[in-house]
Amino acid sequence: MTTGISDNTIMMFVIHDALRRDAEQLARGVEHRDMHDPSRQTAFLSGWEVFKRQLQHHHDGEDRLLWPLVRTYLPARDEENALLSEMEQEHERIEPLITSVDTALRNSDAAWLGEATVTFRQELLAHLDHEERDAVPLMDAVLTAQDWRAYSRAQRKATGFKGAKEFFPYILDQADPDRAAQVGRLLPPPLRLLVSRAWQPRYAQTAHWN
């Protein structure tokens, strides 16, 4: 089956799916977790740290690399430039909300954590929907295959080998099978084997969230 998503943007959708998954994991965990169970506490914090790291890395890559690249095609297109500014502003609103969740977790403040989680989740999900609805079609329309390859190379360099060992298992965990298969077809065969045979099994050995 095909996903109906271009090879250029499929990674964006799979990353977003993973972020949505963990936003739900966070919300469920905050509602139901036992604050006094050390093993559950450790797993929950592990899940949060990975989620936070991957979200910040994703937003950083867009702000430093992707939006400037798209803007090179929009010198006189005010509406599209305004859309990219909205993406950046939404990232700026989300960042302090991450800090609020983080601080509430460290202080074991259940009431603050509940409020911070609700606000963070709402802002993040609204942003992901907005980006997919409006920004992704713009990127697909203006960026060339060469542009996407350059962006991917820059992201891989920023991620590094160590980061890739977490990134690929993270985005493929519970991923839609068709979307995961499309991502797999885009990976070089040696990397595809490394992800499936080594990195994903190793990632699964660590409890995340519960």
What's the rounded mean pLDDT across residues 140-147? 95
* Residue 166 near residue 203 (C-beta atoms within 8 A): yes
- Name which of 19-23, 29-33, 174-178, 182-186 the model is least confident about: 29-33
**Which pair of tokens denotes residue 9?**
């943007």
Structural contact between residues 46 and 105, judged by C-beta atoms closer than 8 angstroms? no
**Sequence-distant contacts of 78-82: CB under 8 A, at least 24 apart:** 80/138
Which residue has tokens 């929907």? Answer: 129
pLDDT at residue 9, rounded to an integer: 96
Report the pLDDT averaged over residues 170-182. Answer: 97
| pLDDT top residue among 37 and 189 | 189
Query: What is the pLDDT at residue 127?
Result: 98
Domains of the chain in start order, with CATH, are: 10-204 (1.20.120)
Confidence label for 106 from pLDDT (cuts 50, 70 and 90): confident
pLDDT value at residue 98? 98
pLDDT at 79 over 70: yes
pLDDT band at 130 (very low <50, low <70, confident <90, very high): very high
Mean pLDDT, rounded, for 117-123 = 98
Model pLDDT, residue 200: 97
pLDDT value for 36: 67
Q: How confident is the model at residue 24 (pLDDT cuts 50, 70, 90)?
A: very high
Q: For residue 1, what pLDDT is reported?
A: 63
What average pLDDT does this structure show over 138-151? 95
Average pLDDT over residues 18-43: 87
What average pLDDT does the chain have?
94
DSSP string covering the chain:
---SS-TTTHHHHHHHHHHHHHHHHHHHHHHH--TT-HHHHHHHHHHHHHHHHHHHHHHHHIIIIIHHHHHTT-TT-HHHHHHHHHHHHHHHHHHHHHHHHHHHHHTT-HHHHHHHHHHHHHHHHHHHHHIIIIIHHHHHHH--HHHHHHHHHHHHHHHHHHHHHHHHHHHHTT--HHHHHHHHHHS-HHHHHHIIIIIHHHHHTS----
pTM of the model: 0.96
Q: Does residue 152 surpass a pLDDT of 70?
A: yes
Check residue 35 and give its pLDDT: 58
